[in-house]
Amino acid sequence: MKKLFFFILFASILSAFDMITHERSTITGIVADESGTPLIGVTVLEKGTQNGTVTDVDGKFSLQTPQTCATLSFKYVGYKLLEKEGLCEQQIHKITLIADLAALQEVVVTSSAKERKVRAKKDRSRQRRSNALAAQAPGITTSRMMAKPIRRPDAQSNTEDYDIINENSFLNATQKPLSTFSIDVDAASYSNLRRFINNNSLPPKDAIRVEEMVNYFDYDYPAPTSKHPFTVVSEIADCPWAPQHKLLHIGMQTKQIPASNLPPSNLVFLIDVSGSMSAQNKLPLLKSAFKLLVDQLRPNDKVAIVVYAGAAGLVLPPTKGSDKQKIKDAFEKLQAGGSTAGGAGIKLAYKTAAENFVQQGNNRIILATDGDFNVGASSDADMVRMIEKEREGGVFLTVLGFGMGNYKDSKMQQLANKGNGNHAYIDNIDEAKKVLVNEFGATMYTVAKDVKFQLEFNPAKVQGYRLIGYENRLLNDEDFNDDKKDAGELGAGHTVTALYEIIPAGIETSLLPKVDKLKYQDAKNVLTQQQDELCLVKLRYKAPEGKTSQLIEQAVTAQASPLSASSDNFRWSAAVASFGMLLRDSEFKGDTNFEQIKSLAKSAKGKDTNGYRKEFLELVEKAQSLHTTETAGK
């Protein structure tokens, strides 16, 4: 009897051991087309589960399964879906996918004649709508009406998503002397609104973040000379849209680092190849953009490529920056198709970055997507928690947005903000060159993190103030000294600008909130020994790998200049902010108008090496035309 018991016990242990072993079974293979060419990015899924992967740059896949054998499905855009039964471990399975010609005809435009017919049909439709508008608004010039008519996105087909922006109001300097916010150097809002205007549509109100418009442009600030990685400058002059008010301009310039002197980079390109990325201004533009970035890589840099669609996978293992053609070839093979397992892709990207972490180097994930996640961890809350956890490993995150119609700006903003990174929107190849070539250091290498501003206003000089923009970067006053509180990051060579509209002490105003008189203290009893100071600017930041912040303090004198005597930096930033407030139809836009914006911007255009300021003036002209036409149509 005792022998029987031990026999059963031994058999049970063997069975359990066998089950544990089977939990780690790995099925491997190579997927190719009919000519034997390996296919990169094929979605491989275990039937009836979400367990999957994608093929790498050599068409290879490796999938762990709970059984020694499984049924796998192989899905790739332009090819017929294939299911294979009885695929087992300890073999290298050769899988051949058959082209689906019908599917290819649906997704690929092959006939230029057909394209011309479609375009001609659209042009005739535009002409009819232009004639109708001209009949309704005879006061509008024919040339302006002959331009593309204003288009508003179809609410049913357009699913773009923007967070609501409630503009900052004026605050009483006696009751609320401190203003605290996290710095933001993102510029996605500007290139996004440019996309709208160039497509003949005024942008949605909540797509406009004024601080991102202002910070799209470089400013001529002095280079840092102290131990700190940036300088802080300030200027105060008359406010263009409210002459009885003053405008405070605060600028920062981070240290320039030549690309050759940047620390070695460990980059993971996280690429969305789901079906929503098939449009010409998404994956095809993305490929061209990243090839520009690849040309900037040095031999001591390394790059891995992770893609995600129905599943996530490593399609290019870490590869030296000198192997540029190999990296470009991997991009060239990418195709769009399937759903969007964004959460799985982000996890794999962070895992890959951590496994190849470079001490004292630039460890960064570059996520390129339209933000349309819909499989796995897809809610904003899930994504934010994941990113907050992963960022503790010292890996930064750059988020590049592509496309239109389903662009999820709100999600992109959250991921970049929580991932110690930045956010840009790529609407054309010129913008890709700006972000990934001209501003390579600023985009790719962080010189200061958790950067926070706190201004203390002097009530003897300031009756009220309003921070222009930065609504999604406001902090509690106590957060300024809390080194556990996350804030924004600054890259090498960045310029950053913040603007405050000031209501001077002693002038009549209805813009400040009314409160009852205080019973136990006199609200007018303020210190006056610093009569020449408008405010005190305080700034905290950490080194890229630091845990403890450093403090900078700088007083701003109250002496203001006439607008005409202000610097180009001041007038340009004021013109851009005015444009943003006008597009938002801000309640604080005051007397601003298109003509004033153009005049102010022209006076401050400066040398404009890359033509970005010239382009801004053209956008103002187009927006004015769109606004005039829209107003006439109401």
**pLDDT tens per residue, range 343-354:** 788 889 999 999
What is the dihedral angle through the alpha carbons of 626, 628, 629, 634, rounded to the nearest 10 degrees? 120
Q: Is residue 429 part of a domain?
A: no
* Helix or strand (DSSP H, E) at 124: helix 112-136
Of the residues 70, 103, 136, the one at which a domain ends: 103
Say whether both 305 and 190 belong to one domain.
Answer: no
Residue 312 domain-assigned (yes or no):
yes
Q: Are residues 469 and 603 in the same domain?
A: yes
Domain span including residue 294: 265-422
Instruction: Tell me which DSSP letter residue 98 carries.
Output: P
List the one residue out of 497, 523, 528 whose CA is nearest residue 512.
523
What pLDDT does 374 receive?
60
Q: Is residue 435 part of a domain?
A: no
Tokens encoding 176: 């609320």
Q: Which of 45, 74, 103 is the last residue of a domain?
A: 103
pTM for the predicted model, two decimal places = 0.80
My answer on whether 597 and 500 are in the same domain is yes
Rounded distance, CA 44 to CA 300, Å? 33
- Kindly state whether residue 583 falls inside one of the protein's structural domains: yes
**What does the DSSP assignment read for 482-513?**
-TTS--EEEETT-EEEEEEEEEETTS--SSSP
Q: In the sheet that 265-272 helps form, which strands lie side by side, from edge to edge? A: 312-320, 302-308, 265-272, 362-369, 396-401, 421-425
491 with 545, same domain: the answer is: yes
**CA 99, CA 509: separation in Å to the nearest integer?**
71
Q: Is residue 38 part of a domain?
A: yes
pLDDT averages per 10-residue partition of the chain, 634 residues: 49 47 77 86 87 85 91 87 92 90 45 38 43 38 34 57 94 95 92 95 96 96 93 97 97 91 93 89 94 94 91 91 95 82 84 94 93 63 79 90 90 86 92 92 88 96 97 96 94 94 94 82 59 93 93 94 97 98 96 97 94 97 92 74
- Are 222 and 248 contained in the same domain? yes
DSSP 8-state code for residue 97: P
At CA 380, angle to CA 377 and CA 381, rounded to 5?
A: 85
CATH of the domain at 46: 2.60.40.1120
pLDDT at 406: 86
Find all residues with CB under 8 Å of 590, minimum gap 6, and list them: 239, 241, 242
Closest CA to 574 of 591, 548, 597, 595: 597
- Asked if 480 and 221 count as a contact pair (C-beta separation under 8 A), the reply is no
The CA distance from 18 to 272, in Å, is 38
**23 and 125 part of one domain:** no
pLDDT value for 200: 93
Within a domain: 519: no
Q: How many domains does the chain divide into?
A: 4
**Residues 464, 535 share a domain:** yes
**Which residues are paired to 25 by β-bridges?**
65
- On whether both 133 and 185 belong to a single domain, the answer is no
Q: Note whether 630 and 150 are within 8 A (CB).
A: yes
* Cα–Cα distance, 223 to 229 (Å, whole number): 9
Question: Cβ-count burial of 414 within 10 angstroms (0-12 exposed, 13-18 middle, 19+ buried)?
Answer: buried
Using CA atoms, how far apart are residues 445 and 432, in angstroms rounded to an integer?
17
CB distance 30 to 95 below 8 Å: yes
Q: How many residues does the chain have?
A: 634
CA angle (66 as vertex; 63, 71 as ends), nearest 5: 65
Say what the pLDDT of residue 114 is: 40
**Cβ atoms within 10 Å of 377's Cβ, excluding its own:** 16
370-399 pLDDT, tens per residue?
A: 987 665 555 667 777 888 888 888 899 999
* Per-residue pLDDT at 376: 56
Closest CA to 231 of 552, 557, 560: 552
User: Which DSSP letter does residue 528 get?
Assistant: -
Looking up tokens 């203001």, which residue turns up? 560
- Element containing residue 254 per DSSP (H, E): strand 246-254
The CA-atom distances, in angstroms, between 518 and each of 247, 464, 525, 606 are 30, 18, 12, 50
Asked whether residue 470 falls in the same domain as residue 588, the answer is: yes
Q: Residues 332, 205: one domain?
A: no
For tokens 């943003």, the residue is 580
Nearest 5 degrees, angle CA 398-CA 233-CA 613? 60
Residues 241 and 389 in one domain: no
Rounded to an integer, what distance in angstroms lies between the CA atom of residue 301 and that of residue 317? 13
**H/E element, 14:** helix 2-22
CATH number of residue 403's parent domain: 3.40.50.410
Same domain as 499, residue 414: no
Residue 37 lies in a domain: yes
SS3 content of the chain, % helix, strand, coil (to 5): 35, 25, 40
Residue 138: how many CA atoms within 13 Å on its side-chain side? 1
Q: What is the DSSP letter of 435?
A: I
Q: What is the CATH number of the domain that holds 474?
A: 2.60.40.1230
Asked whether residue 456 is assigned to any structural domain, the reply reads yes
**CA 119 to chain centroid:** 32
CA dihedral 347, 348, 353, 356 (to 10 degrees): 140
